[in-house]
Chain A
Amino acid sequence: MSPGLSVFLENLRAAPRRAYEATFRSGPPTSDRTRSTFVFGNVFLHLHPVRTHRWSLRWSTTMGLGIITFAAFLITLVTGVLLMFYYKPYPDVAYDSIKDIHFVVPTGRFMRNIHRWAANVMVIAVLLHMARAFYTAAYRKPREFNWLIGMALLVVTLGLSFTGYLLPWDQLAYWAITIGANIAQSPREVTDALQITDRFDPGGLQKLLLLGSDQVGEEALIRFFLLHVMVLPLALVLLAAVHFWRIRKDGGLVRPANADERLGPAPLETYPVFTEAPHKTYQLAAIVKGKTAAVGRGPEGTVPSMPHLFYAEAGVAMLTVLVCLGLALFLDAPLKELANPGVPENPAKAPWYFLGLQELVAFSAFMGGIGIPGIVLLGLGLIPFLDREEAGTGEWFGGPGGLPLVLRSIVVGLGSAVLVDGIAIRYGWLREWFPKIPQLVVTLVNPGTVLTFIYAAYSIYLVKKYGSTRAGALGLFTCFLCGFALLTLVGSYFRGPNWSFYWSPADWPVH
């Protein structure tokens, strides 16, 4: 055989093995070295640090909530692509295509259910995740920027949910688009009252941009479809990549200053620390500022990310999949009647996570739909820049006041929400008391703004009492969570036809 040919044959024989080696370049992750190259040799994994602090792996540190959020997102991504095989974003056929998916397409109903419940899991998880980042004071220096990225992720997540349930073009969808577009137009509540709408009409512009037309129709559906399947998922992927990368650059997850002492020596069964002498010199450490996961402390507190972190993440992700599949097996995603522009449902309710908002817009469209959410976002964004303290970083409910303060704030938050909403339900509000009252007063002074004001006042009182911004933030955040929860509850269970108050749906008038 000619030498050329034999080399060729030899290469051919070795091709599968070499392809395998080219793909899995670092070999099995069994030593310190290969465990490290396993992480930083892979573009996705290297968003993680090579070694992870043991504090970060404690279940009570994160409760896995960020990973649950992201896993739920990945599930919606996969099932969403599958749904797109059949979904048609045109008003005439959208509803039928969803029905096809639900009743005809093989596994279609299952996929649709998974998609819907994973989206719900994502909303719950992202809210809880934000709460955990807040209560462990994880937003403090140097994590301010990541807190802001997180807020953007929260907005995108809610945006994905909203644009998603519009797509079936059923009654829920149609009236949600109508209400959403009119909330976008609600700055007119103010410009009308000031009689400047002719010259300055941001509300009208927003509605026009959202609907692509002056009424709800095919232009609107295409826009929401575009946002739902393209713009928002892309934004979420990009933001999430930055979010994860920042965690690593900010020195891993937040932990108390004395985490190492509190953890004690590593248990024997954890993979030991640096069995081989390091082959790499850390020149980079001389030019980058700030900390990486292992700088400043010995590596004793850390363990290799492979397997400790990755197995934990995979476990949480599998649990998320399990929950979503379980829900999808037993509960069908809702689908109402075909959109009917002439008759809204009575009551016309948004999905549960927007019912708090619906309760607020039932006091004032502008303040409830734009003003108060804007104030809340602004407040959330300011937290890391106003609270520059250090006490309690990385501790649950850390900071002056601690858990007792949070418990008291729950009482204040729930109590004042019950009181204010109760007054509005029992006795009506300004318009019922003074029928001639100008609209601008109703817009500015309504149960929603009064509640916001009470919470803000309480928070300022806490700042003074404890001499600490963190105490004020703890109170304010807790109050807002409670207000959100209570309004959501009222909107879900206690509102019936014509948005009137009923103690139970059993009391709803029947026709």
Chain B
Amino acid sequence: MTTAPEHGSPETPASALRSRLDPEPVPRRDFLGLAALWASASTVLFATLGIARLPKAAVLSSPSRKFKVTLPEALPAGEAFVPPGRSVALFKEAGEVWAVSTVCTHLGCIVKSSATGFDCPCHGSGFAKDGSVTRGPAPTALKWVKVSAAGGDVIVDEGESVPLGTKVSV
């Protein structure tokens, strides 16, 4: 046990000679109070950051979007074939097939094939047959997606895009 030094005794440093009524250089109560305040503030901050991680899904359910399809025998060159329930247009010309995604690059509506290419019902983007933008707000060309030959059929993977102009011979 130590006892507090006698007020004004020879061994007390000069700074301790202040009267108890003088303000302390760093008021102790303020210091403790501020420390507690910052401690709780940073706790809340880190807790919030931790909580904010929750809504960002770590694992996404991404079912395979690969499918096999038989192109109609009599598909005229340059005419789009859209397999039912899929968002991809298949073309066949001179023994080559390719697939253009029908998901509009503007805001994700499904474009419809027309005589000149594709039209989007939502904000009027227009695309040529090869997917390049001809009018409207779409910022980029329609994606091309991966096709591969499988016997007489083709396998399309809507989930995998390929460089524009990638055709596969069947």
- Residues of A participating in the B interface, judged by any CB pair closer than 8 Å: 175, 178-179, 181-183, 186, 189, 192-193, 205, 208-209, 212-215, 217, 219, 223, 341-348, 358, 361-365, 368, 428, 431-432, 435, 439, 442-443, 446, 497-500
A sample of 10 more A-B contacts (CB under 8 A), given A343-B110, A345-B121, is: A179-B108, A179-B109, A179-B122, A183-B107, A215-B62, A341-B87, A342-B110, A442-B139, A499-B121, A499-B136
Task: Give 24 A-B contacts (CB < 8 Å), ordered by A residue.
Answer: A175-B122, A179-B108, A182-B106, A186-B107, A205-B56, A212-B57, A213-B61, A214-B60, A217-B61, A223-B55, A342-B87, A345-B121, A346-B121, A361-B107, A361-B137, A362-B136, A364-B137, A365-B139, A428-B135, A439-B139, A497-B121, A498-B120, A498-B124, A499-B123
Assembled-state Cα–Cα distance A449/B55 (Å):
34
Closest residue of A by beta carbon distance from B87 = A342
Is the CB–CB distance between B109 and A439 below 8 Å? no
Is the CB–CB distance between B108 and A361 below 8 Å? no
Contact of A193 among B55, B110, B137, B139 (CB under 8 A): B139
Is the CB–CB distance between A213 and B60 below 8 Å? yes
Assembled-state Cα–Cα distance A342/B89 (Å):
12
Residue numbers in A under 8 Å from B61 (CB-CB)? 213, 217
Q: How far is the CB of B87 from chain A (nearest CB, A)?
A: 6
Residue numbers in A under 8 Å from B122 (CB-CB)? 175, 179, 344, 347-348, 499
Assembled-state Cα–Cα distance A328/B108 (Å):
34
Assembled-state Cα–Cα distance A196/B57 (Å):
23
Residue numbers in B under 8 Å from A358 (CB-CB)? 123
Contact of B62 among A183, A214, A344, A500 (CB under 8 A): A214
Q: Digit string of B85-112 for contact with A (CB within 8 Å is 1, else 0)?
A: 1110000000000000000001111101
Closest residue of A by beta carbon distance from B106 = A365
Closest residue of B by beta carbon distance from A207 = B108
Residue numbers in A under 8 Å from B85 (CB-CB)? 342
Q: How far is the CB of A255 from chain B (nearest CB, A)?
A: 41
Residue numbers in B under 8 Å from A205 (CB-CB)? 56
Closest residue of B by beta carbon distance from A428 = B135
Is the CB–CB distance between B137 and A365 below 8 Å? yes
Provide the main secondary structure of the chain B interface.
loop
Residue numbers in B under 8 Å from A215 (CB-CB)? 62
Assembled-state Cα–Cα distance A364/B124 (Å):
12
Assembled-state Cα–Cα distance A281/B133 (Å):
75
Q: Digit string of B105-141 for contact with A (CB within 8 Å is 1, else 0)?
A: 0111110100000011111100000000111110110
Is the CB–CB distance between B62 and A498 below 8 Å? no
Assembled-state Cα–Cα distance A192/B143 (Å):
14
Residue numbers in B under 8 Å from A214 (CB-CB)? 60, 62
Is the CB–CB distance between B140 and A208 below 8 Å? no
Is the CB–CB distance between A179 and B140 below 8 Å? no
Is the CB–CB distance between A178 and B109 below 8 Å? yes
Closest residue of A by beta carbon distance from B112 = A346
Is the CB–CB distance between B123 and A192 below 8 Å? no
Is the CB–CB distance between B109 and A348 below 8 Å? yes
Closest residue of A by beta carbon distance from B126 = A498
Is the CB–CB distance between A182 and B107 below 8 Å? yes
Is the CB–CB distance between B121 and A182 below 8 Å? no
Contact of B109 among A183, A189, A212, A344 (CB under 8 A): A344
Q: Contacts A213-B61, A361-B137 given: A178-B56 contact, CB under 8 Å?
A: no
Residue numbers in A under 8 Å from B84 (CB-CB)? 342
Q: How far is the CB of A202 from chain B (nearest CB, A)?
A: 13
Is the CB–CB distance between B124 and A213 below 8 Å? no
Is the CB–CB distance between B108 and A208 below 8 Å? no
Is the CB–CB distance between B57 and A219 below 8 Å? yes
Q: How far is the CB of B39 from chain A (nearest CB, A)?
A: 27
Contact of B107 among A178, A223, A428, A439 (CB under 8 A): A178
Residue numbers in A under 8 Å from B133 (CB-CB)? 431
Interface members, chain B 51-99 (any A CB < 8 Å): 55-57, 60-62, 84-87
Closest residue of B by beta carbon distance from A219 = B57
Is the CB–CB distance between A348 and B121 below 8 Å? yes
Q: How far is the CB of A92 from chain B (nearest CB, A)?
A: 15
Closest residue of A by beta carbon distance from B110 = A344
Is the CB–CB distance between B86 and A342 below 8 Å? yes
Assembled-state Cα–Cα distance A338/B133 (Å):
30
Closest residue of A by beta carbon distance from B124 = A499
Q: How far is the CB of A442 from chain B (nearest CB, A)?
A: 8
Assembled-state Cα–Cα distance A91/B93 (Å):
39
Residue numbers in A under 8 Å from B108 (CB-CB)? 178-179, 181-182
